Chains A and B, each alone.
Chain A
Amino acid sequence: MSFSVSLRDVTLTYGDTEALSDVDLTLAAGKIHGLLGRNGAGKTSLLSLLAAFRKPTGGEVLVDGRPVWENVDVVSRIALVREGGDFDDTDTVKSTIETGELRPSFDLEYAHKLAQRFEVPLDKKVNQLSRGKRSVLAAICGLAARAELTMFDEVHLGMDAPTRDAFYKELLAEYMDRPHTVILSTHLIDEVANYLEEVVIVDSGRVLRHDDVEAFQGMGATLTGPADAVDALAAGLEVLAEQRLGGTKSVTVGSALDASARERAAAAGIEIGPVGLQDLFIHLTNPDRTGA
């Protein structure tokens, strides 16, 4: 029953600013997708369209193959959790959680279990919670919604590291327990990389890359060694960044090295290192990068 997602030629403008331009994107059902992008790249706009929080200026937004706008069968099974949550701040945590029962699929027992585990006091008012606890409450409501498409938009921002870790664990457990589609929007990429199956990188309102997480992990390499030798090896490869210290040069390339290149590197005394998804993302979305 997991929902697939598809945007066709989608544009979204706010006044004069174009938040999304001609986005074509299809996300398979039942996977955990990572949505990566710098601040203002269009992550939130994209998710707002998928949850029918906004209408696109142009193009089509389909979830489960159906137009999402004002479609009760679809939106009742979509949950978009925004940082800080969408709550009535003067309400208690208890009744905020119970608002979830507007969804037929909401699991109140699970929500209470999570509230206890993450130590969110039910009797407090939402505006008495710390930023971290507020984010946790938002995440709890998202998980307990038991939706077919669940999206977390930078929800972890207010959480401290141990809480984030516990949240990712719970998310994975819930996902394995009940297959559904998940989209995690973040810029703390290394933290979530292992949980993802596919990665979408958005930049300046466009989809920059969309691929399996493995494709990204094998996508780049750093070559470090004598400057001349490194230049020779990197010739013809897409160079993302370079750095020089005396006679030693370090180059980040945007493609994997084949066996023969690895052999030549070893012979020339060049060390080959990995490029983490986070570094790759920084390079790919660098505004100075030519051709980006």
Chain B
Amino acid sequence: MFDDGTPIYRQIADQIKAEILNGSLEPGGKVMSTNQYASFFQINPATAQKAFRELVDEGVLYKQRGVGMFVADDARDRLAGEFRARFFDDVLKPLIHEARQAGISLSDIIDYLKAQEGALK
């Protein structure tokens, strides 16, 4: 289920963020409890709690005492914004680096992307 590299709580946090981005978790929607997460993924509840704490600190989730955790109203916009901010540096840059090593020219990549845009729309 989890890979060894990143701490599990971060993987859970990333997964929740991904679910918010792709819409399976709605803004204002309730998130599963720590114990539900723990028994679903078979992990220590403290690990799940750590993921939640991180998300609360980032403003992605908010806590309602005695009720549970909810997705912040602006969570999706905020996450999308963050993704846009690091897209070029974190995603595209290493990709171009690898492409160059394989001998793919920048213009080939641009051509491909333009063709994709036409196909997707």
Contact A274 B5 (CB under 8 A): yes
Majority secondary structure of chain B interface residues (helix, strand, loop or mixed): helix
With A217-B7, A274-B3, A275-B4: A195-B42 Cβ-Cβ less than 8 Å: yes
Indicate whether A172 sits within 8 Å of B7 (C-beta atoms), given known contacts A197-B44, A197-B46, A197-B47.
no
CA distance A168 to B41 in the complex (A): 12
- B52 interfacial contact with A, CB 8 Å: no
B4, A274: Cβ atoms under 8 Å?
yes
> What is the 8 Å Cβ interface bit string for chain B, positions 45-82, against chain A (1 contact, 0 not)?
11100100000000000000000000000000000000
Nearest CB in chain B to that of A177: its residue: B35
With an 8 Å Cβ cutoff, the count of chain B residues facing the other chain is: 20
Q: Give B1's nearest chain A residue, CB to CB.
A: A194
A176 at interface by CB-CB < 8 Å: yes
**Nearest-Cβ distance from residue A180 to partner chain B, whole angstroms:** 13
Name B42's contact: one of A32, A194, A197, A274 (CB within 8 Å): A194
Q: Is the CB of A194 within 8 A of B4?
A: no
**A194-B5 in contact (CB<8A):** no
Q: Could you tell me which residues of chain A, from 251 to 269, have a CB within 8 Å of some CB in chain B?
A: 266
Q: Mark B1-45, 1 if CB is under 8 A from A, else 0.
A: 011110111000000000000000000000000010011011111
Question: In whole Å, how far is B117's beta carbon from the nearest beta carbon of chain A?
Answer: 29
Q: How far is the CB of A225 from chain B (nearest CB, A)?
A: 14
The answer to whether A169 and B42 touch (CB under 8 A), given A217-B7, A266-B94, is: yes
Q: A176 contacts which of B7, B8, B9, B39 (Cβ < 8 Å)?
A: B39
CA distance A172 to B38 in the complex (A): 8
Bound-complex Cα distance A9 to B30 (A): 48
A273 in contact with B5 (CB, 8 Å): yes
Question: From residue A243, how far is it (CB to closest CB) to chain B in Å?
Answer: 18
B5 — nearest CB in chain A belongs to which residue? A274
- If A273-B5, A275-B4, A276-B4 touch, whether A213 touches B42 (CB-CB below 8 Å) is no
Q: Which 9 A-B pairs have the closest CB atoms?
A: A274-B4, A274-B5, A214-B7, A194-B43, A197-B46, A276-B4, A176-B35, A197-B44, A217-B7
